[in-house]
Amino acid sequence: MVKCFPQELDQLFSALGEPVRRSVVRSLATGEKSLSALAEPFSMTMPAVMKHVAVLERSGLVRSEKRGRTRYCSLEPARLKEAQDWIAETVAFWTPKLESLARHLEASE
Amino acid sequence: MVKCFPQELDQLFSALGEPVRRSVVRSLATGEKSLSALAEPFSMTMPAVMKHVAVLERSGLVRSEKRGRTRYCSLEPARLKEAQDWIAETVAFWTPKLESLARHLEASE
DNA sequence: GATATAGTTTACCAAATGGTAAAGTGTTTC
DNA sequence: GAAACACTTTACCATTTGGTAAACTATATC
């Protein structure tokens, strides 16, 4: 299921472990946005927003492209799926224990 | 869907954004383990492992209990579901764009 | 072509993170 | 009850993180 390297999962999960960056991801889910449009909801300087976007780009969650003097950012949802897959796999590891517990309870009735 | 506070999502995702901690979570998915059992695969001192476990406990992913001189750690899979839900919601935000693109392509055929 | 706009670079800072070594505490076990 | 074991606490360290201010670059706009 998970196709990317552990190091990429590090970048992915820690990118999501920050409220500003999760907001940015949510904001981009509705379409591409410029850096200043992303910065607007937060009372934060441009360099700070740029650093968050850089973290998101390194994680593969976001890509950006400069057109004229504006840099447009957009979401790369394939990466979000990697995180989702890792969690799904972990839950799958865990679930058999629950099922065997259920069988055990049934058997002891 | 997501029932916990943003701050709890921070702790959750950044807890998962570290390879040792993801390994610990995977390791606990098969059942409870002592601190030294968790430490064994990593060439790491006990205090270091304790810090990782503390981060996991703060995130709600892990709980622990001391029996005799041994501390046993176990997974709290409900928290894993919170992370899963946040991602699912974000994908849900994003997906309508894909669908409208698909409709657009169909219409232009 | 002067001016405003959108972003970038540089230099800096405080606090958090991920680790260590060494000494201390409470349970077994012999 | 002495020794081994499983953790815990304390003190310390280097690096990373998340932010700032100020100066700079490139593109519109009037």
Domain that holds residue A10: 6-107
Number of structural domains chain B divides into: 1
| B12: in domain | yes
Task: Answer yes or no: is pLDDT of B79 > 80.
Answer: yes
A30 touches B97 (CB < 8 A):
yes
Task: Answer yes or no: is pLDDT of B106 > 80.
Answer: no
CATH code: domain of residue B66: 1.10.10.10
| B46: in domain | yes
Identify from B90, B93, B95 which residue to disrupt to test chain A contact, counting A C-beta atoms within 10 A and taking the largest count: B90
| A54: in domain | yes
CA of B48 to C1' of C22 (A): 14
Q: What is the pLDDT of residues A8-38, one digit of tens each?
A: 999 999 999 999 999 999 999 999 999 999 9
| A1: in domain | no
Q: Of B76, B90, B96, B77, give the one whose Cα is nearest residue B2.
A: B90
Q: Does nucleic acid strand D have an atom less than 7 angstroms from the CB of B78? A: no
